[in-house]
Structure 1
């Protein structure tokens, strides 16, 4: 039986694989629900996946939510080929600033139970984790794109809760200058809804705001669209100001935007700031990077 290489990027907002993305909400159910869509069944019970977000924790290894989300992600990947029994080389990630503190915990978290037997959407899966590799988020995602980078570059990974900043000098990470800013897309959505409440007495749901984030527009009423676009433009401008305040010069340093919030910069960053920027708006970039690094480690298999 051929082994699968699967990268899973479990974020507080979304869980991503190389082919799938779903919200990271996990809710334990009192019993079997009437619909099996996005439902995991383990020996511990039933879990609904994909509504809302997981709460921010000191470490994602504190509870079973990350494992449940990882099982759902693996099942989504295996589902494409109709596979239900599989050996898997798993790749996951933590922020570079947390690698020293969390890498060992992540490996132990996943390897304490290498055999995963569960149901996903009423289909039984049996998965054996042959290996678990933990990579630095952000850096893992951009390795294959480095040929397009300048000698001085700054990787800016825009997630739901944080923006992680990784400087590169001649393609080597400068770990002494890594930063994690509490400026993720959640803060942007909150500010937009505050503006909507003040101006229209209403709010927009996350799906509506995300549509404008991803595509730059929407067919919603113009008064809503204008406020949302103004909020996204303000977010892009503020983020650039915050990064410059850390003494990163966008004239001399190439800014590389990745992560779920990269689409905001694609549509709402000023043209002047785009001149020395590279926007990699593939939400699965980290998961794909984990897989590429595992295959490289295995000799290109």
Structure 2
């Protein structure tokens, strides 16, 4: 089974599921097993709140644990076997793809095989066969070549949780010298909205309330 995972600062995404990049660990069983990962004798509630931003996603095991939760949710959505072989695919920022590729592949492709864990009280045994990494944003153009066809210059913008990654393509060829990673993503946007609402109204709003408004939904 091939499973693509976007390890975002704001949310973890697979082709069919999406949940916030939050993780809270417990030594004992929490009040509910919903969204709970059990691994190495500990319990982790996945998708709650927002974890502390880290410069390197490989600096702790949080994204590895969230990867297990994402695999479990995607397999459940596809109604697949909970004992299976998996090829993981993931993306890395354009500006740092070459620098981070080796380390992030080793982070996800560990010697511990098969990977055994429980998610929402169901057992999983996953053998990761390979990990393939691709440049974020640019990969999407493989599905939409019409966006760059016959265009002399196109600016690709990948708006993420923490960064906005930019790259220009000239005659459909990526111009590596134009790659930029700006810390102006959705998290910065939400934090600024929270502060402005507090200043103007004296009220505190949650991230979920802000998301609903930005999505044009009632709140």
Q: State the TM-score, normalized to the length of structure 2.
A: 0.93
- Unmatched runs of 5 consecutive residues or more in structure 2: none
**C-alpha offsets along residues 273-301 of structure 1, whole Å, 9 cap, x if unaligned?**
xxxxxxxxxxxxxxxxxxxxxxxxxxxxx
- In structure 1, the partner of 2:144 is 145
Q: Which structure carries more helix by proportion?
A: 1
Instruction: State whether residues 14 and 24 of structure 1, in contact with CA within 8 Å, keep that contact through their aligned partners in structure 2.
Output: yes
The whole-number CA distance in structure 2 between the counterparts of 1:192 and 1:201 is: 13
Partner SS for 1:183: coil
Out of 84, 88, 91, the position equivalent to 1:93 is 91
Partner SS for 1:178: strand
**C-alpha offsets along residues 186-210 of structure 1, whole Å, 9 cap, x if unaligned?**
2211221222112211022111111
The whole-number CA distance in structure 1 between the counterparts of 2:168 and 2:217 is: 35
- In structure 2, the partner of 1:79 is 76
- In structure 2, the partner of 1:186 is 187
**C-alpha offsets along residues 11-55 of structure 1, whole Å, 9 cap, x if unaligned?**
111000000100011111121113111110011511110012232
- In structure 2, the partner of 1:230 is none
The whole-number CA distance in structure 1 between the counterparts of 2:117 and 2:214 is: 35
Q: CA RMSD in A?
A: 1.4
- In structure 2, the partner of 1:167 is 168
- In structure 2, the partner of 1:242 is none
**C-alpha offsets along residues 128-177 of structure 1, whole Å, 9 cap, x if unaligned?**
11111111111123321122333311111111111111111122211111
Matched, 1:19 2:13: no
Q: Which structure carries more strand by proportion?
A: 2
Q: State the TM-score, normalized to the length of structure 1.
A: 0.68
The alpha carbon displacement at 1:82 in A equals 4.6
Provide closer, same or farther for how the CA distance between residues 194 and 58 of structure 1 changes in structure 2, counting only shifts above 3 A: closer
- In structure 2, the partner of 1:120 is 119
Residues matched between the structures, number: 215
Higher relative contact order (CA 8 A, sep 6+): 1
The whole-number CA distance in structure 1 between the counterparts of 2:80 and 2:181 is: 39
The whole-number CA distance in structure 2 between the counterparts of 1:54 and 1:135 is: 24
Provide closer, same or farther for how the CA distance between residues 212 and 57 of structure 1 changes in structure 2, counting only shifts above 3 A: same
The alpha carbon displacement at 1:56 in A equals 2.2
- In structure 2, the partner of 1:136 is 135
* Stretch of structure 1 that moved more, 179-188 or 9-18: 179-188
